[in-house]
Amino acid sequence: MVMASTTDNPSQPDQPLSRLDDILARYSHTHVIFLDDKGATNTTDILNIMDANGGPEHFVWKEYRGGNRAAQARARGYKAWGFFYPDDAQSVFDDNMAKYDFLGQQYDATQAQFDMMIATGKPVIGHIISTVAQRDMALAKGAHGIMTTKPRQTFPYY
């Protein structure tokens, strides 16, 4: 088991890290997994991993709204999710939303920002959800689903 020896929260104890190969072995053929090339340096490797572990039926390419790798993923048959933040200007949205099959907006964006995305007809995913209150806020604004990093806190009945 690999342990996280550093975090952004110095009071947080070391925690086990999930290995991607373990997650893929357990879930890639039964779930849809969203993968993001955070450093924008491993796109081909990540796409190859996606291809080898279920392909477009089980993966969605995920990237921040200004990314330029969605086209590579879509060329291989993958759907792409572009996520935005409340500070993104209307022009940023207008210039980027066509690249994506799914759109994402932070849970605390305004109703008008959610409505703008919903009006495209594309599914909108609220992010980054860490609490039940954030989940409820995004869903109340019209999000079709959510992205959470803490499923047990977001869905305590899970």
pLDDT digits (tens, 9 = 90+) for 56-113: 999 999 999 988 899 999 999 999 999 999 999 889 999 999 999 999 999 999 999 9
Domain that holds residue 43: 14-83
Q: Would 35 be classed as within a structural domain?
A: yes
Element (H, E) at 82: strand 79-84
pLDDT digits (tens, 9 = 90+) for 136-153: 999 999 999 999 877 766
How far is 50 from 34, CA to CA, in rounded Å?
A: 10
Residue 1 or residue 53, greater confidence:
53
What's the mean per-residue pLDDT of the chain? 88
Residue 39 or residue 111, greater confidence:
111
Q: Tell me the residue type at 48.
A: N
Count: domains in the chain: 2
Q: Would 128 be classed as within a structural domain?
A: yes
Give the 3-state DSSP-derived string for 29-75, with helices as H, strands as E and coil as C.
CCCCEEEECCCCCCHHHHHHHHHHCCHHHCEEEEEECCCCCHHHHHH
